Amino acid sequence: MKKIYFPIVFSLILIFDKTAAVVICYHGTWSHYRSGNGNFPISLTPTDLCTHYIYAFAGLDASTNQVVSLDSWLDFNLNGFQNAIALKQSNKDLKVLLAVGGYSQGSARFSNMAAHQSTRATFIQSALTFVQTHGFDGLDLDWEYPARRDGQAQDKENFALLVKELYEVFNPLGLILTSAVSAVHVDVSYDVPTLSQYLDYINLMLYDFHGFWDTHAYHNAPLYSTSKLAGTSSAGFSVNASVHQWIEAGASPSKLALGIPLYGRTAILSSASNTSPGAPTTSQGAHAGPYTGTVGFWGYNEIVEQFQNGDWTLEWDDEQEVPYAYKGTTWLTYDNGRSIGQKVEFANDLGLGGIMVWSIETDDAYGVSDIRFPLLKAIQNALDTSRPNSSTTSSVSSTTSSTAPVTSETTSSSQKTSTTTAAETTTTTTTPTSTTTQGKPSSDSRRIKDANSCVTEGFFGSSVDCSIYFYCQSVDNGHVGYSFMCSQGLVYDTTFGICNYPALVDCSN
């Protein structure tokens, strides 16, 4: 009997291992400043739906070649870094990474830094210090893009050197290294075999293939290419074509994370009577959404609100395996649970390392459409169907009473860095200078005793220790509380929902 049993158990383990896929969740942390259903503080992250959380973005200082905060108010005064690390309290396996760069940082500063061994060394040392000081598990490089935009041809080779040298410092310390990379012009920018060797994951940005800037209505992130574009320069603009290109160029499939956009793009059709993919457009985008504020771009959270306003015609493109929608002359290309399910299946079929999303704050976080985080849940469900049985124990049991103070290394560094980077602060909203003081905590309904005392969703201060606060999340059969601690010297202000100076908050009992 035992001889029969053993191989069965063994093969189950193998199956499980093979499909232990990652879900790499980027967070555009500036969504903290958005209002209403667009508001997405770090603590709202569904830690049971991500294996990696990536804090976007820190910057690269063009003159010093060092990693710097781009929003010291959010990163330090509002405890952004600290709250990101604290996400591990509700999922002990979660890896929390810091992204450096992003589209708006341009390419030139990375190009200059990577061009010389000495400046690469300066960057690597500063990245290591930054990551270790704040407690991150690793770094994500977001150079958009080597040898493109304002970069130079040698970037391809220099980026590979940078990644190798970073690996040699980070790997022995157990620190993770990933990079967001382009879906197109792969051979121009990337020494793929080297990147595949030294990066833990290559995050494929498989979106923005098309948008309002085109003259015709095509998809933002189609799974397959369309025959309509065969023979044109955008013939290979699809998830399938890009993934195959990366693999053919020498990437190990297990290192690739298939990027899925949690947003859509709009275009204005030339005629309301031609609404099919490929229809002529005016090269204009539809109005900006209330949360993301960008013409031609809607987060999925904005899309579901549009759909609730009615009058949209929803369609499915059988050739490219993605949905689209239109209303009058407004044309929308986006992803939904169905297209995401197919992309996850595609990733599984090719044995990819997993999925990446840009970005969690535009999922339907508040469940306007029905359930909360429907797109992240679609990813998890599609991954689960290929697993024997995933343990779906969410954060519930492990977090209800985790009041462990968040380390002191983050607090000391916050003092250090907030002064050096204050000039770079890009956002000055919600300054804690309005002075109305609170009623006493004992009579303040926004203060509760501990994380087990949650009865409604939202942020609450502690009635016991003013420096502690909680996020109470609704779950099926009640509420789950997550605990956080303000950085040293600050206390939780229930009026503004932030950590504030003690003089501005009434904490007396």
Ligand X SMILES: *[C@@H]1O[C@H](CO)[C@@H](O)[C@H](O)[C@H]1NC(C)=O
Catalytic residues: 144
Q: CA 30 to CA 291: how far, in whole Å?
A: 11
Q: CA 85 to CA 482: how far, in whole Å?
A: 13
Closer of 318 and 370 to ligand X (Cβ) = 318
Closer of 39 and 245 to ligand X (Cβ) = 245
- DSSP strand E in 29-132: where? 52-60, 67-69, 95-101
Closer of 12 and 295 to ligand X (Cβ) = 12
Residues in the chain: 509
Nearest approach, Cβ of 252 to ligand X (angstroms)? 17
241 binds ligand X (CB under 6 A): yes
3-class DSSP state of 348: helix
| Sequential DSSP letters for 131-181 | HHHHT-SEEEEE-S-TTSTT--TTHHHHHHHHHHHHHHHHGGGT-EEEEEE
Candidate segments 1-9, 176-184, 239-247, 278-286, binder of ligand X by CB under 6 A:
239-247
Nearest approach, Cβ of 350 to ligand X (angstroms)? 10
Q: Is residue 140 within 8 Å of residue 98, measured between CB atoms?
A: yes
Closer of 240 and 487 to ligand X (Cβ) = 240
3-class DSSP state of 282: coil
x/- contact string, 263-302, with ligand X (CB under 6 A)? ----------------------------------------
x/- contact string, 118-137, with ligand X (CB under 6 A)? --------------------
347 binds ligand X (CB under 6 A): no
Residues near ligand X (CB under 6 A), total = 6
Name the burial class of residue 469, with classes exposed (0-12), middle (13-18) and buried (19+) by CB atoms within 10 angstroms of its CB.
buried
Nearest approach, Cβ of 247 to ligand X (angstroms)? 9
Could you say which of 240, 281, 329, 411 contacts ligand X (CB under 6 A)? 240
Nearest approach, Cβ of 227 to ligand X (angstroms)? 9
Closer of 240 and 275 to ligand X (Cβ) = 240
Nearest approach, Cβ of 138 to ligand X (angstroms)? 31
Restricted to residues 5-34, the positions that interact with ligand X (CB under 6 A) are none
244 binds ligand X (CB under 6 A): yes
CB within 8 A of 489, min separation 6: which ones? 501, 502
Q: Is residue 299 within 8 Å of residue 361, measured between CB atoms?
A: yes
Nearest approach, Cβ of 319 to ligand X (angstroms)? 9
Closer of 32 and 377 to ligand X (Cβ) = 377
Please name which of 159, 149, 244, 139 lies closest in space to residue 201, comparing C-alpha atoms: 139
Restricted to residues 216-235, the positions that interact with ligand X (CB under 6 A) are 224-225
Q: Is residue 224 within 8 Å of residue 240, measured between CB atoms?
A: yes
Candidate segments 144-152, 213-221, 237-245, 424-432, binder of ligand X by CB under 6 A:
237-245
Return the H-helix or E-strand segment holding 458: strand 458-462
Closer of 68 and 247 to ligand X (Cβ) = 247
Q: Is residue 229 within 8 Å of residue 237, measured between CB atoms?
A: yes
Q: CA 197 to CA 146: how far, in whole Å?
A: 18
* Residue whose entry in the numeric block shows the structure tokens 């303000």: 486
Restricted to residues 377-396, the positions that interact with ligand X (CB under 6 A) are 389
Interface ranges with ligand X (CB under 6 A)? 224-225, 240-241, 244, 389
